[in-house]
């Protein structure tokens, strides 16, 4: 919770925070707070009204479906819900190759972390084009 909300919701902290305000300033704050509260009540009432309307429409649709003898499964039967499988992309081909100290060939696509053997070769002054796979 923010410091502001901590102060606002705790009686003693609120009293300490507003002790330097005059009564007229406190009354002005009260009016603003009452306005915020009334606005919030109106918003909540509107949301409740919209939700009630939605539930009424759902009930109407359920009744109409029951009267027609239609089930929910019949509505979605023609349009099966399928999830497309994610296709894995093909791995990128190696772009660089180097033989390490153990005689093992190490390849690198040019993406991600550079292999240590290639990094060491570049630090020694070699050009990366030397290790390019043709």
DSSP per residue over 75-88, as a string? HHSSS---PPPPPP
Pick from 102, 112, 107: which is nearest to 133 by CA? 107
Collapse the DSSP code of 26 into the 3-class scheme (helix H, G, I; strand E, B; otherwise coil) and give the result: helix
Write down the pLDDT at residue 78.
58
Q: Which CATH architecture has domain 96-131?
A: Irregular (4.10)
Which pLDDT does position 80 carry in this prediction? Answer: 58
| pLDDT less than 50: residues of the chain | none
100: left (phi over 0), alpha (psi -120 to 50) or beta: beta
Please say whether the beta carbons of 29 and 21 come within 8 A. yes
pLDDT in tens, 33-56: 999 999 999 999 999 999 999 999
pLDDT at residue number 79: 58
| Count of residues making up the chain | 134
Where do the CATH 4.10.430 domains begin and end in the chain?
A: 96-131
pLDDT for the residue 74: 76
The pLDDT value recorded for residue 81 is 58
């Amino acid at each position: 919770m923010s410091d502001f909300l901590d102060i606002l919701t705790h009686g003693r902290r609120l009293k300490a925070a507003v002790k330097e305000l005059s009564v007229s300033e406190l009354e002005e704050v009260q009016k603003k707070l009452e306005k915020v509260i009334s606005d919030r009540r109106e918003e909540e009432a509107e949301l409740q009204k919209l939700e009630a309307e939605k539930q009424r429409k759902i009930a109407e649709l359920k009744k109409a479906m029951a009267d027609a003898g239609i089930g929910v499964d019949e509505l979605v039967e023609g349009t099966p819900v399928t999830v497309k499988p994610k296709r894995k992309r093909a791995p990128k081909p190696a772009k660089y190759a180097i033989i390490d100290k153990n005689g093992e060939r190490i390849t690198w696509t040019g993406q991600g972390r550079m292999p240590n053997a290639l990094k060491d070769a570049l630090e020694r002054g070699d050009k990366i084009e030397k290790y390019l796979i043709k």
